[in-house]
Amino acid sequence: MLASRSLIATLRDDPGDAVVASHRLMIRAGLVRKLGAGLYHLLPMGLRTFRKIENVIREEMNAAGALEFQLPILTPSELWEQSGRWEKMGKEMMRFKDRHEVWNALGPTHEESFSSLVSELIKSYRDLPLNVYQIHTKFRDEIRPRFGVIRSREFCMKDAYSFDLDEKALDITYQKMRVAYRRIFARLGLSTVPVEADTGAMGGTGSEEFMVPSEIGEETLLVSENDKYRSNQEKTPVSYAKAGDFSAANQAAQPTGDLKGLERHHTPGMKTIADVAKHLNVAATAILKTVLYYADGKPVAVCLRGDRDVNEIKLSNHLDGATVLPATPQQIKELGSVIGFIGPLGLSKDARIVWDLSLTEGGPEWIVGANEAEYHCGGCVLDPARESVDLALAQAGDPSPAGDGVLKEIKGIEVGHIFKLGKKYTEAFKVTVQGEDGRPLTPVMGCYGVGVNRTMATIIEQWHDDKGILWPISAAPYEIALVSIAKGEDEIAKAREFYEALTAAGCDVLWDDRPARPGVKFGDAELIGYPIRLTMGKGYFQDGELEVVRRADGEQLKCSGDTAALVGQVLKLREELYAELEHNAAGAST
Ligand code: ATP
Ligand code: MG
């Protein structure tokens, strides 16, 4: 491609709304432009990278035996009603009525569509295992689109769905996809950490997210010291040394049932655990924290130790997947309490109380909110027969569930997600095959997603410096930039000849033939981040010396020889860059 016929839409200044490097660089390098909240145009340069990423994903999916489809983005409500998710999906799913007054949704995911389609396509156990996928647009009306294409509203996902005879066969497919995922990310220059993830609302039996460690990551991962345990904080169980070990005092104690007789503490304006602890000169662990929620519209009070926070995913799972929302100040009032002074005693009977496991360690007397402005009470003793469940958010310093020391926290960007789904959708869509014995069988499903745009941005997040992007060769818009500083027809003809030789040798080259200043051309090449830059200036036109610069580490080589020899040297460097990625992918396969 000739730069003069292409569109180098680079910008000198940072966009005002970009807070992360990938977003800033994608705009400045002319890969994308913003249309509106969570909506981005892909420009030709960006689309080239996008297609390369897509193709790496496609190659690995095909190699894993998956079959490519393309399904409509628009999905009739009927499908979602059949699975019971029309109600469940919430506001992220964009819904509207068409001209025939039929409700539709823009697909945020396609379990329903694929299950319904596959139910028509398979008949016998011999048709299994079946793994189907597409690389296509998804729409999610994200409440807070941000970080450019990392969290946008319209994006492209590779979503795959597998159908197997039984759990054992699903295990094999799942492992295959796990390897394919590791290979995809390694080939794209990303090193990923697979972590255990929550399976809650989707109702499956196993799930892993592929995380790229990054300071800007929105996910919190908890990892044990020697890496034996890795999980999303959402999912990490918290254990307590004394869980289940009720002290004699606790066993004997009766619940007081009301606040009468408890010691009252005046705590004016002290709405946080830290304030109250300081004022009363006690540890946060001496205080019982009560947090009010509405779960599918019904009030729930979560009681936990003062040093702990609620894990809303665990809470939702405990309440059969209910949608859990924090109570508003008005709702708190209606339940007979006051924000900042909530406690389990004297609260409206409508609120169901759930007890976190953390309360099994500590006590037996707790300081609680008095459900009255400016007051807390001390000496509250809990019913020892209460049911305790793990509802707390695990944190750094907690013991590793694998028994190897304590957990540490890292931030990560989720680029992919694999999931054992079970039979939820195959049952809902009556996907059955005839078994070997002639009886009908319901296959078990798995689902597997990779965000294409998010992967693109994550690569930049990992691979950039203060001058621009450092693309791994597999994802670069062009593998090679040929920057010529040619004067006169003769030199231009020589540069063209070299460009044509490179192209004929199978290289993906952008020839910057623009009549721009050398500084502008070099600046653009560094900003856009082509992995190999060839400079053709005085040295070449006078002495036949070509400068070859590797963008990733700035290493410069002076190459000389005839055109064929020079092309040979460039090809060799290109092969080395691909081989490095392939080596990582091979390592990731095991
Ligand atoms: P998140 O927790 O970040 O919202 P998710 O768990 O909802 O993601 P999945 O439903 O597992 O995501 O989707 C599979 C993949 O699609 C994700 O791993 C991610 O790469 C991509 N993805 C999901 N939501 C978005 C989005 N709003 N913008 C860009 N990519 C997305
Ligand atoms: Mg996910």
What average pLDDT score do residues 216-226 get? 93
Shortest-distance Cα residue to atom 25 of ligand 1: 151
For residues 453 and 203, the answer to whether their CB atoms sit within 8 Å is no
Alpha-carbon distance of 383 to 364, in angstroms, equals 10
| Same domain flag for 360 and 297 | yes
Same domain, 103 and 199: yes
Instruction: Tell me how far the alpha carbon of residue 120 lies from the centroid of ligand 2, in angstroms.
Output: 28
Strand extents, DSSP E, 130-214: 130-139, 154-164, 193-196, 206-213
Take atom 16 of ligand 1 and give the residue whose Cα is closest. Answer: 451
User: Which segments within 186-262 are labelled E, that is strand?
Assistant: 193-196, 206-213, 219-224, 230-232
H or E segment and range at residue 422: strand 407-422
Which CATH number covers residue 315?
Answer: 3.90.960.10
* Closest CA to ligand 1's atom 24: 151
- The predicted model gives 52-58 an average pLDDT of 98
pLDDT score recorded for residue 249: 37
Whether the CB-CB separation of 32 and 42 falls below 8 Å is answered with yes
Identify the three-state secondary structure at position 420: strand
For residues 485 and 514, membership in a common domain is answered with yes
Quick one: pLDDT at residue 202?
Answer: 56
Residue 569 domain-assigned (yes or no): yes
**Span 421-448, mean pLDDT?**
96
Q: What is the pLDDT of residue 256?
A: 46
| Cβ 155 under 6 angstroms from ligand 1 | yes
Tokens standing for 581?
Answer: 């990625």
Q: Which ligand is nearest to the CA of 37?
A: 1
The whole-angstrom separation of Cα 508 and Cα 513 is 15
Burial of 187 (0-12, 13-18, 19+ CB in 10 A): buried
pLDDT above 50 (res 178) = yes
Rounded to an integer, the average pLDDT of 7-33 is 96
Rounded to an integer, the average pLDDT of 198-225 is 86
Asked, for residue 199, whether it belongs to a domain, the answer is yes
The residue type of 9 is A
Mean pLDDT value of segment 537-556: 94
Per-residue pLDDT band at 150 (split at 50, 70, 90): very high
402 found inside a domain? no
Looking at the whole model, is its pTM more than 0.85?
A: yes
Average pLDDT rounded to a whole number, residues 147-174: 97
From 331, 357, 389, give the residue that closes a domain.
389
- Please state the rounded mean pLDDT for residues 443-464: 98
Q: Is the CB of 157 under 6 A from ligand 1?
A: yes
Q: What is the pLDDT of residue 248?
A: 38
What is the CATH classification number for the domain harbouring 493?
3.40.50.800
C-beta 152 within 6 A of ligand 1:
yes
Task: Evaluate: CB of 192 within 6 angstroms of ligand 1.
Answer: no
pLDDT interval class at 46 (50, 70, 90): very high
The pLDDT assigned to 257 comes to 55
Ligand 1 neighbour 232 (Cβ under 6 A): no
Q: How far is the CA of 162 from the centre of ligand 2 (A)?
A: 17
- Residue 108's pLDDT is 98
CA distance 321 to 57: 32
Is the minimum distance from the CB of 235 to ligand 1 under 6 angstroms? no
Same domain? For 43 and 191 the reply is: yes
CATH of residue 111's domain is 3.30.930.10
Ligand 1 neighbourhood includes 451 CB (under 6 angstroms) = yes
- pLDDT tens, position by position, 313-347: 999 999 988 889 999 999 999 999 999 999 999 89
202 in contact with ligand 1, CB cutoff 6 A: no
Alpha carbon of 221 to ligand 2 centroid (Å): 13
Q: For residues 249 and 103, which has the higher predicted lDDT (pLDDT)? A: 103
Length of the chain: 590
Residues 509 and 568 occupy one common structural domain:
yes
Cα dihedral 497→500→505→506 (10° resolution):
160
Choose the residue to mutate in 235, 454, 461 for probing ligand 1, maximizing ligand atoms within 8 Å of C-beta.
454
> Do 25 and 132 fall into the same domain?
yes
Q: What is the pLDDT of residue 590?
A: 65
pLDDT at 88: 87
Please give the average per-residue pLDDT across 190-218, as a whole number. 86
Asked if residue 499 and residue 412 are part of one domain, the reply reads no
Same domain, yes or no: 214 and 118: yes
Average pLDDT, the chain: 93
Instruction: Tell me whether residue 424 is in a domain.
Output: yes
CA–CA gap between residue 434 and residue 249 (Å, rounded) = 61
Whether residue 10 lies inside any domain: the answer is: no
432 C-alpha to ligand 1 centroid (Å)? 30
107 and 139 in contact (C-beta within 8 Å)? yes
* pLDDT at residue 206, as a whole number: 87
Same domain for 35 and 178, yes or no, is yes
Residue to mutate, 218, 417, 418, ligand 1, most ligand atoms under 8 Å from C-beta = 417
pLDDT grade, residue 243 (50/70/90)?
very low
Residue 370 lies in a domain: yes
Atom of ligand 1 nearest to the CA of 151: 28
Q: What is the mean pLDDT of the segment spanning 482-497?
A: 95
Q: φ, ψ for residue 552 (rounded to 5)? A: -60, -40
Claim to verify: residue 124 and residue 67 sit in the same structural domain: yes
User: What would you report as the CA-atom Rg of the chain, rounded to the nearest whole angstrom?
Assistant: 29
pLDDT greater than 90 at residue 254: no
The distance from CA 524 to its chain's CA centroid, rounded to whole angstroms, is 31
For the Cβ of 140 lying below 6 angstroms from any atom of ligand 1, the answer is yes
504: in domain: yes
- Domain end: 389, 420, 442, which one? 389
- pLDDT at residue 244 tops 60: no
Q: Looking at residue 203, what is its pLDDT?
A: 56
Query: Whose CA is closest to 338, among 316, 371, 305?
Result: 371
Q: What is the DSSP letter of 259?
A: S
Structure confidence by residue, pLDDT tens digits, 75-113? 999 999 999 999 989 899 999 999 999 999 999 999 999
Give DSSP secondary structure letters for 429-443: TT--EE-TTS-EEPP
Parent domain of 546:
478-588
Angle between helices 21-28 and 452-462 (to 10 degrees): 100
220 CB within 6 A, ligand 1: no
Tally of structural domains, the chain: 3
pLDDT, residue 5, reads: 94
- Say if 467 falls within a structural domain: no
Q: Are residues 122 and 261 in the same domain?
A: no
Question: What local confidence, expressed as pLDDT, does residue 507 receive?
Answer: 96
| Residue 529 predicted with pLDDT over 60 | yes
**Ligand 1, atom 23: nearest CA belongs to which residue?**
451
Query: In terms of domains, do 163 and 277 share one?
Result: no
> What is residue 226's predicted lDDT score, i.e. its pLDDT?
84
| pLDDT at residue 225 tops 80 | yes
- Whether ligand 1 lies within 6 angstroms of the CB of 458 is answered as no
